[in-house]
Structure 1
Amino acid sequence: MIYPTCVRTAILLFFFAGFARAETDAYARQRAAMVAEIEANMAQTAGLLGRKGLSAEVADALRTVPRHQFVEEEMQPYAYQNRPLPIGHGQTISQPYIVAVMTELLDAKPGDKVLEIGTGSAYQAAVLGAIGAEVFTIEIVEPLAAAAHERIAKLGLANIHTRTGDGYYGWPEAAPFDAVLVTAAASHIPPPLIKQLKPGGRMLIPVGDRFNVQQLVLVEKDPDQKVKTRQLLPVSFVPLTGTHQ
């Protein structure tokens, strides 16, 4: 679904009013170049993804969300390179192409409730928020969770809710969710996350371990609660950790 330009503009202006007031964005050209590179990458993987390119709303979000605000200062010169970057504690901010692919395939719409497992620095959450989703994001690494919460509050991203905890078990009191996005590799698809997914909803999750090929898996629940899965493409994510291991 392509949202009217006026709707996308209103969402982005509301979501990032704080950035517009805070700085003159010197990174706009770098973001535009990043999006162009992502478009080229998606064209190469169109057969796997079933998508020829980015939708207008996802492209607009990627051009707007200031990725350099979601990495440490020493990493900011590299923020718009199409690669993952370290954010401390053995974790990374995902490659922009992967963020774009996962956001695109999730098909979240304005007003949808999205559960994210693995907040990291909160960049992925910010991209989802920029397309108008209400995001519930969980991070198990306490210092990262605290930093993400502070960053989200400072930037005034009111439609992003944070929690510190084991994402394997989801966020039951906020369920059900229109979509679930897992940004760490699991050995299997967590049953609590399937349970918290609405009928008609979809989940994206990397499945596999760090020493073997992981697959990005699309999970869909139909109106009759039946679940089907499909492997999309090989990926590399840090492992999902927690008490379930």
Structure 2
Amino acid sequence: MAGRIPDQFIDELLARTDLTDVVASRISLKKTGQNYSALCPFHNEKSPSFSLNPNKQFYYCFGCGAGGNAISFVMEHDHLDFVDAIEVLAKDAGMEVPREQGAPDRYEQNAELLKRLSESSQFYQQQLTQHPDKKKATDYLSKERGLSGQIAKVFGLGYAPAGWDNLLKKVGTRAESQEQLLLGGMLIEKKDQPGHYYDRFRDRIIFPIRDSRGRVIAFGGRAFGDEKPKYLNSPETPVFQKSQEALRTI
């Protein structure tokens, strides 16, 4: 059935859904204190780095940075889009999904764009731990800001290395992906070469800007020294309107 799913129903669905049951029906969980741990289903690992907090109804992987609620877990694990994941959870909860007449919400309209933003966030997080110049970023976070590696992982902080096309080469490997990255403000088109792009964020600490449901919708980048601008945020996009989002910088 066409139509937007009301926000009130999504909130009620999450309130009636136990994340522990959702995850336990798909992977093996082990009780560790007040939380649960497991081998992360989203990347290959030998030691458990996946943690689930039943009180907060939130999961997070300290290895790959995946995290979210029941909806995001079903989306990622079952390879479903947002609407299909809600349908699955609603069926398990014995609830019927209502629909409002009108245009779909921003997520449904821009699912591919949000995927590219999520992939960008994962890329920046990987650079913070894997790039040859990572010490520059980790030293800044630990010595200048007093932030531990664990805190960086929890908040999804990342590093955009110096260079013009790091993100472009990793996430924008196809023309369609480049168009989405451009639409999402991650790339800038060269003035003298239409159809050719370069990374917006370069040589900066990166922090994701999320919506109320934890979806990455934009980014902020903080310069290491006195470079201008000191703070660089994503431009407004179909999923990010600055007047509607609270920006947090570190």
- TM range, normalised to the smaller chain? under 0.3
Larger Rg computed on CA atoms = 2
- Give TM-score, length-normalised by structure 2: 0.27
TM-score, structure 1 as length reference: 0.28
